[in-house]
């Protein structure tokens, strides 16, 4: 199955429903699933039909609207209660991705600001906000990609982990967005398979090859060996939540790469939109790490690869200390050697700019 590379439309609004690429089926099959209720969105997020922090945020925004569009509330005050209930339910779907909470907060603010208006009007404004979040995501990722492209030298060989491409956003990608924006300068990209759910092998390899960027698939435990050859010019990954000091939560195995980069003196870049930063969390120690179902480790493609029922430790994410990060690439610019002051200053300056403008 050939994909559509950087043009994949991960999330779309069609005929009054949300349609999402079911990422569990890739690369064998490209299929959209229709979500017409909050329950559908919740299930899509928890079962990883949709994944990637920005994509989860967009899906969550639409989930709020779907959760209240049938509300029978007769007043703005009563409707606001329904909105808050929908927000609370969706907030429980995946705890680590900051973008989900950022989108839910935006939706709730729209309802609060307009609670004195008619219920029908508030519903329309909520749908408009979800549409805005979807459209902004593409502009933001493209700006982020352009900003990151300046870091990529001609003939570069890169390495990435998990999937931070169009499938992890609305359409373009963060870490892979940087690669798309510097496509002509990239020699090849090593792709970690990313155990236990194999997002690198299934999704990133599919996206890069579809976009015409040479990709080489490796198992996660080959990264050190490849880096030791001196062939890797930079590692670029995405992020699910970034603390105020720059500590970054991303797919499990990211921290391993950052340590390897420090040893081998390879630049380690994190690509993420401003919505991924959580200034209320001072350091990475405060980031809640999601624990996934043990069968993700016990099985591959539904078949046991170990002793059935064996105890499993399966955190979905790990935290990379800011001191190991060469730069965070955002739509607002580059934050080199990130710390709390640099992050605060960059985000404050960004509030004065329009979404998606670098």
Q: What is the C-alpha separation between 173 and 271, in angstroms, rounded?
A: 9
Strands (DSSP E) found in 23-76: 32-35
Q: Which of 40, 137, 220, 240 is catalytic?
A: 240
Buried (b) or exposed (e) across 120-153, using 16+ Cβ within 10 A? eebbebbbebbeebbebbbbbbbbbbbbbbebbe
Q: What is the C-alpha separation between 286 and 332, in angstroms, rounded?
A: 25
Q: How far is CA 75 from CA 82, 129, 332, 357, in A?
A: 11, 20, 39, 38
Q: What is the C-alpha separation between 357 and 173, in angstroms, rounded?
A: 16
Find, among 236, 208, 210, 232, the residue nearest to 222 by Cα: 232
Q: Counting Cβ atoms within 10 Å, is residue 158 exposed (0-12), middle (13-18) or buried (19+)?
A: buried
Q: How far is CA 264 from CA 62, 81, 127, 159, in A?
A: 43, 53, 48, 13
CB 330 within 8 A of CB 151: no
CB 90 within 8 A of CB 60: yes
Q: How far is CA 259 from CA 225, 253, 254, in A?
A: 13, 10, 9
CB 62 within 8 A of CB 40: no
The verdict on whether 240 is a catalytic residue reads yes
Q: What is the C-alpha separation between 34 and 19, in angstroms, rounded?
A: 5
334 phi/psi in degrees, rounded to 5: -95, 135
Q: What is the C-alpha separation between 256 and 261, in angstroms, rounded?
A: 9
CB 200 within 8 A of CB 163: yes
The catalytic residue positions are 240
């Amino acid at each position: 199955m050939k994909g559509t590379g950087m043009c994949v439309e991960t999330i779309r609004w069609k005929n009054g429903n949300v349609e999402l690429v079911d990422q569990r089926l890739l690369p064998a099959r490209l299929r959209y699933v229709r979500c017409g209720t909050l329950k559908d969105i919740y299930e899509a997020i928890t079962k990883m039909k949709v994944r990637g922090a920005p994509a989860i945020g967009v899906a969550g925004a639409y989930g709020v609207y779907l959760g209240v569009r049938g509300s029978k509330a007769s007043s703005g005050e009563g409707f606001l209660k329904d909105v808050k209930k929908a927000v609370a339910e969706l907030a429980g779907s995946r705890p680590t991705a900051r973008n989900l909470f950022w989108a839910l907060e935006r939706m709730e603010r729209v309802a609060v600001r307009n609670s004195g208006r008619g219920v029908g009007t508030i519903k329309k404004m909520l749908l408009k906000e979800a549409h805005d979040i979807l459209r902004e995501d593409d502009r933001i990722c493209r700006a982020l990609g352009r900003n990151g492209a300046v870091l990529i030298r001609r003939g570069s060989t890169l390495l990435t982990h998990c999937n931070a491409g169009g499938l992890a956003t609305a359409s373009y990608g963060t870490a892979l967005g940087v690669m798309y924006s510097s496509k002509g300068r990239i020699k090849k990209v090593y792709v970690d398979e990313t155990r236990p759910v194999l997002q690198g092998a299934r999704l990133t390899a599919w996206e890069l090859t579809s976009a015409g960027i040479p990709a080489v698939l490796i198992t996660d435990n080959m990264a050190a060996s490849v880096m030791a050859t001196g062939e890797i010019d930079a590692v670029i990954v995405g992020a699910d939540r970034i603390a105020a000091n720059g500590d970054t939560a991303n797919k499990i195995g990211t921290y391993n790469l950052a340590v390897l980069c420090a040893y081998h003196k390879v630049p380690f870049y994190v690509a993420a939109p401003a919505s991924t930063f959580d200034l209320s969390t001072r350091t990475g120690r405060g980031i809640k790490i999601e624990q996934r179902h043990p069968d993700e480790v016990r099985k591959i493609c539904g078949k046991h690869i170990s002793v059935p029922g064996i105890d499993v430790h399966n955190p979905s994410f790990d935290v990379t200390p800011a001191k190991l990060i060469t730069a965070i690439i955002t739509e607002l610019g580059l934050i080199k050697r990130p710390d709390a002051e640099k992050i605060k200053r960059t985000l404050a300056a960004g509030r004065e700019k329009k979404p998606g403008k670098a």
